[in-house]
């Protein structure tokens, strides 16, 4: 593990990779993203989160996955194939994190070795709609307080290893994929949104997570979500989800997840 002392700075440079070129979310497609003023398809925010999450994992190892915390916000895009630098600075009992590309700050975050305790009250279960009957994402279909359909998935080591490689992390930190990494889990917060409503091009803008236990190869993950807010933010329609992830009734991760589900440009075009 990396040994941090107060004020110590670590930097890590990687080559970004767009894992979502085939995604239903066309903000990751070069031609669609260009219509929004971007120079190419965006690397998913959950993958930029993974770039940032390497630092606390390297610093604290499995202790962080069992009970740590992290928050990240995404300001500017990271593009496929470009050198991307993550900087972590030790401050008190935590880390301050930044991600930059093209000489620009793209994301900021912070991580702590100890996060909040697991929620006492469980979010409700919901029925997942069929993919072809999902309602369009809107103020009505994502009403504040609405319980979304519950997502269930079994974690497999092979899928974990594939994800670790794609986000340029170190498999040895996760027992060679035997344990799910935090960004793999966070991606399910995207999935629970996308499988409940029909989305056009949309943008993940921020996440705050608390870790509670390890998810291991072969264990089933249950993802519950409730709409915490749905607002017009400078012309963008943004939804905020409260998400709980459980396995065999124990908490694995809880998080708050922010996403622009209808960018201003889409509304203006309509």
Among all chains, which residue has been given the structure tokens 């092979």?
Answer: 158
User: Which residues lie across from 256 on neighbouring strands?
Assistant: 208, 242
Residue 71 belongs to a domain = yes
Q: Of 110, 9, 116, 3, nearest to 60 (Cα)?
A: 3
A 10 A CB-CB count for 101 gives: 20
| Tokens of residue 75, six digits | 């300001």
- Specify the DSSP class assigned to residue 138: S
Residue 4 belongs to a domain = no
Number of domains observed in the structure of the chain: 1
Q: Which residues contact 91 (CB under 8 A, 6 or more apart)?
A: 6, 7
pLDDT computed for residue 268 by the predictor: 63
pLDDT computed for residue 234 by the predictor: 86
For the stretch 221-265, pLDDT in tens is: 999 999 999 999 888 899 999 999 999 999 999 999 999 999 887
Give the C-alpha separation, 241 to 229, whole Å.
7
pLDDT computed for residue 233 by the predictor: 87
Residue 122 belongs to a domain = yes
Q: Of 148, 165, 149, nearest to 157 (Cα)?
A: 165
pLDDT computed for residue 39 by the predictor: 64
Q: Of 204, 37, 28, 225, nearest to 124 (Cα)?
A: 225
Asked whether 101 and 16 are in contact (CB, 8 A), the reply is: yes
Kindly report the length of the chain.
270
Query: Consecutive sets of 10 residues in the chain, 270 residues long: mean pLDDT of each?
Result: 71 86 52 58 89 96 97 93 95 94 96 96 97 95 98 97 95 97 97 95 94 98 98 92 97 97 74
Asked whether 29 and 20 are in contact (CB, 8 A), the reply is: no
The stretches of the chain forming alpha helices (DSSP H) are: 30-34, 45-60, 62-67, 157-166, 182-194, 264-269
Residue 249 belongs to a domain = yes
Which residues constitute the domain of residue 185?
A: 9-269
Q: Of 225, 216, 73, 88, nearest to 144 (Cα)?
A: 225
User: Which residues lie across from 254 on neighbouring strands?
Assistant: 210, 244
> Computed from CA positions of residues 144, 149, 150, 155, in that sequence, does the dihedral angle turn out positive or negative?
negative
CATH of residue 170's domain is 3.10.129.10
63 conformational bin, left if phi > 0, alpha if psi -120 to 50, beta if neither: alpha
Residue 2 belongs to a domain = no
Residue 119 belongs to a domain = yes
pLDDT computed for residue 28 by the predictor: 46
| Tokens of residue 171, six digits | 């498999």
First CA to last CA distance, the chain: 51
Asked whether 140 and 126 are in contact (CB, 8 A), the reply is: no
User: Which residues lie across from 154 on neighbouring strands?
Assistant: 220
Residue 1 belongs to a domain = no
């Amino acid at each position: 593990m990396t040994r941090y002392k107060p004020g110590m700075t670590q930097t890590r440079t990687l080559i970004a990779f767009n894992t979502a070129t085939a995604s239903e979310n066309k903000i990751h497609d070069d031609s669609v993203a260009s219509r929004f003023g971007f120079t190419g398809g965006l690397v998913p925010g959950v993958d930029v989160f993974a770039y940032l999450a390497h630092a606390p994992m390297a610093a604290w190892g499995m202790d962080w996955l069992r009970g740590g915390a992290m928050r990240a916000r995404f300001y500017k895009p990271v593009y496929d194939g470009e050198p991307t630098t993550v900087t972590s600075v030790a401050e008190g009992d935590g880390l301050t994190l930044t991600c930059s590309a093209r000489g620009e700050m793209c994301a900021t975050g912070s991580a702590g070795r100890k996060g909040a305790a697991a929620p006492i009250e469980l979010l409700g279960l919901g029925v997942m709609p069929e993919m072809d009957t999902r309602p369009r994402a809107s103020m009505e279909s994502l009403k504040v307080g609405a319980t979304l359909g519950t997502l269930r998935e079994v974690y497999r080591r092979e899928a974990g290893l594939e994800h670790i490689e794609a986000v340029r992390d170190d498999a040895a930190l996760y027992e060679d994929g035997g344990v799910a990494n935090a960004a793999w889990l966070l991606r399910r917060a995207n999935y629970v949104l996308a499988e409940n409503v029909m989305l056009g091009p949309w943008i993940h803008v921020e996440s705050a997570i608390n870790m509670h236990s390890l998810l291991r190869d072969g264990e089933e993950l249950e993802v519950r979500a409730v709409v915490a807010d749905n607002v017009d933010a400078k012309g963008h329609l943004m939804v905020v989800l409260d998400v709980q992830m459980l396995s065999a009734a124990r908490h694995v991760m809880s998080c708050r997840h922010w996403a622009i589900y209808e960018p201003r440009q889409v509304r203006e075009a309509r």
